Structure 1
Amino acid sequence: MQPSSLKLPILALDVGLKRIGLALCIEGIILPLEPVLRRNRNEAASKVKEVITLKQAKILVLGLPSDLGMCKGIKHFASLLDFEGEVYFINEDLSSKEASELLLDRDHKARANSRKDGRLDSLAASLILQRFIEQNA
């Protein structure tokens, strides 16, 4: 990838079974977005497509775990997005743990709420996006 591509809107996804964390990078600034709460695959894909369109994402980055079973599901989810831009997969191992560590200054209830409402997942998506940028800068 060319460094100039990093100036394009890049959307990162941390795809889970219950929530999809989202983060956007514009001009080198990474912002966690409102997560998508997942009821079923197709509805979640539709909501993510809306975000892609709204944010005019040109590059899509999806976190892939080491667990091969999960990888298959994430790649299938990516195919449901019908994204015409560039798609990259990046190792997401420990991104949720790192995101949790960033919230250690908050009380237990606030950390639990972050997990439940998906903000933790969007923070993990931000870390995945940062890894991607660092590897491609």
Structure 2
Amino acid sequence: MGSVIAIDLGLKRIGLALSSGNGIVTPLGAIERKNRNQAANDVKKVLDEYDAQTVVVGIPMGSTTEEEMRRRVAHFMNLVDFKGEIAYQDEAGSSQEAEALMRGEIRYKRDGRIDSLSAKIILERYLRAL
């Protein structure tokens, strides 16, 4: 299947997680978002580094914002210039689940760990659904 990268696309940080086809999902370092071109370039570097075949993007499926989010994701991935498969996975509750996993570990530190844990949860859901 090749490597799969999940993206939890946020306005301040972009959480990332990786699966190399072995079923194990690992959170990667989050990307601090300064502007969309810098963010797209940084995401592209990660996708190239891990030779990603598929990108799974978390979106709020079934919500009133789903279509808007799909449009924004398509625009962002166009900036990234990714040629592989782009899949969408429902991200509902993934951030809260990630925060629950981190409880006691960090106190609302905004360093991207929760964003990348959220991406890990999104990727695990995607892989389970296959």
Q: When the two structures are superposed, what TM-score results if normalisation uses the length of structure 2? A: 0.90
| Residue in structure 2 matching 1:52, options 47, 51, 68 | 47
Moved more, 33-42 or 70-79: 70-79
For residues 1-137 of structure 1, the aligned pairs below 5 Å read 5=1, 8-26=2-20, 27-65=22-60, 66=63, 67-68=65-66, 69-106=68-105, 110-113=106-109, 116-136=110-130
Q: Percent identity?
A: 43
Between the aligned partners of 2:38 and 2:125, the Cα distance in structure 1 is 28
Between the aligned partners of 2:120 and 2:107, the Cα distance in structure 1 is 17
Bigger share in helix: 1
Number of aligned residue pairs: give it.
Answer: 125
User: What letter is aligned with 1:111?
Assistant: R
Compute the displacement of 1:105 (Å). 3.6
Shift in alpha-carbon separation, 1:28–1:120, aligned structure 2, 3 A: same
The one-character-per-residue Cα deviations of 1:59-90 (angstroms, maximum 9, x if unpaired) are 11011123233343222212212111111011
Between the aligned partners of 1:112 and 1:126, the Cα distance in structure 2 is 19
Moved more, 66-75 or 119-128: 66-75
Compute the displacement of 1:111 (Å). 2.9
Task: Give the aligned CA root-mean-square deviation in angstroms.
Answer: 1.2
User: What letter is aligned with 1:76?
Assistant: H
Gaps of 5+ in 2: none
The one-character-per-residue Cα deviations of 1:15-65 (angstroms, maximum 9, x if unpaired) are 000000000001211100000000111110000000001111111101112
User: What letter is aligned with 2:14?
Assistant: I
SS in structure 1 of the partner of residue 11 of structure 2: coil
SS in structure 2 of the partner of residue 93 of structure 1: coil
Q: When the two structures are superposed, what TM-score results if normalisation uses the length of structure 1? A: 0.86
